[in-house]
Structure 1
Amino acid sequence: MKITFASPDDVAKLLTFREEAAAWLTRLGSDQWQRPYPADRLLATIESGSVFMVMDGNVTAATITLAPDVEEGLWTERELSDPSNFVTKLTVARTHAGQNLGGRLLDWAGDRAYRNGAKWLRLDAWTTNRALQRYYLRQGFEHVRTVREGGAVNGGPRVSGWLAQRPTALADHGFEEDTA
């Protein structure tokens, strides 16, 4: 499998990919990702070079966003003084579930972050998705705290404020990279 940068032409594909993941999460009883993601925000993230796709031939098997910056209000200034990269929107196609693709992708992200000089690989997960939180703990992340206030809409409740981190490190993730 190959990791590539997403391109502006991938916006519709990635939005559909997210909708499929949201439907799966709903079937599991989660309220995660029920609001449509704005296409313009996705396009801006793609254009910044932060969105990656895992391709299995011509099939999108997974996607991840890995960025050096983070949404305001999650991490403290002291925490942000340590060089970090932030994972968001990690999604694996149901056709590729159960193959540890997410774990390998987190290893790839930690490897890339390490090579970029980051000390920490950090993420924020859906506050009510306990299964997802347990998954990240099994992947070597340590829960830092949960931020419940200061959401994007009127400073209300934050839906994705379960914060976790793990040290970055070189990793044998097994992906071929086409990200030069």
Structure 2
Amino acid sequence: MRITSATPADLDQLLSFRQEAAEWISKLGSDQWSRPYPADRLLATIEAGTVFMLRDGGCTAATITLTPEAEEGLWSVEELSEPSMFINKLTVSRNYAGQNLGGKLLDWAGDRAYRAGAKWLRLDAWTTNGRLQRYYLDQGFQHVRTVLEGNAVNGGPRVSGWLAQRPTCRAEHGFTDGAASPEPLRA
């Protein structure tokens, strides 16, 4: 399998992945991703070069977003002073479930972040999705804290504020990396 940078042509596939994941998560009893993700925001992340696709020949098996930009209001000033990269929107097609592609993508992200000069690979997860939180703990992440205060967008309760991190490191993930080399993080 090969990792490539997403292009605007992948937008429909990414929106479809999110819908598929929302339906699956709903069957597990979570309201995570129950609201459609704005296509224009997703397109902006694609154009910023932070969205990656895991391709299996002509099929897309999974996607992950890896960015040096933290979501506002989650991490402390001290934490943000440490070189870090942030993952989100990790999604594996249900056709590829059970192959540990998510774990391998997390290893790829940690390796890429390491090569960019990051100390930490960080994420925020849905605050009420204990199953997802356990998954990340099983992947070597450590829970930092849970942020429940309102967010800047709507002032309501924060739904994705379970924060976790793990150190970056070189990793064997088994994928062919077709994405351009990561840009070094700015100090």
Instruction: State the TM-score, normalizing by the size of structure 1.
Output: 0.98
Matched AA of 1:87: I
Matched pairs, number: 180
Structure 1 residue 94: deviation in Å? 0.7
Residue 99 of structure 1 aligns to a residue whose secondary structure is coil
Q: Which residue number in structure 1 is paired with residue 98 of structure 2?
A: 98
Q: Which amino acid aligns with 1:84?
A: S
* 3-state SS of paired residue (1:114): helix
Contact 2:3–2:52 under 8 Å retained in 1:
yes
Residue 18 of structure 2 corresponds to residue 18 of structure 1: yes
Unaligned runs of 5+ in 2: 181-187
The one-letter amino acid paired with 2:127 is T
Q: In the TM superposition, what is the alpha-carbon distance from 1:155 to its structure 2 partner? A: 1.6
> What's the CA shift string for 1:34-81, capped at 9, x where partnerless?
000000000000000000000011111000000000110000000000
Offset at residue 154 of structure 1 (A)? 2.7
**Does residue 2 of structure 1 match 2:2?**
yes
Structure 1 stretches of 4+ with a deviation exceeding 4 A read: none
Q: CA RMSD in A?
A: 0.7
Q: Which runs of 5+ in 1 are unaligned?
A: none
Whether the 8 Å CA contact 2:72–2:152 is kept in 1: the answer is no
Query: 5 Å matches for 1:74-85?
Result: 74-85=74-85
Equivalent residue, structure 1, for 2:55: 55
2:121 counterpart of 1:121: yes
Superposed CA deviations along residues 94-146 of structure 1, whole A, max 9, x for unmatched, are 11111110000000000000000000000000000000000000000000000
Deviates more, 1:145-154 or 1:129-138: 145-154
Aligned to 1:86, the other structure's residue is in SS state: strand
Give the residue type in structure 2 aligned to 1:141.
F
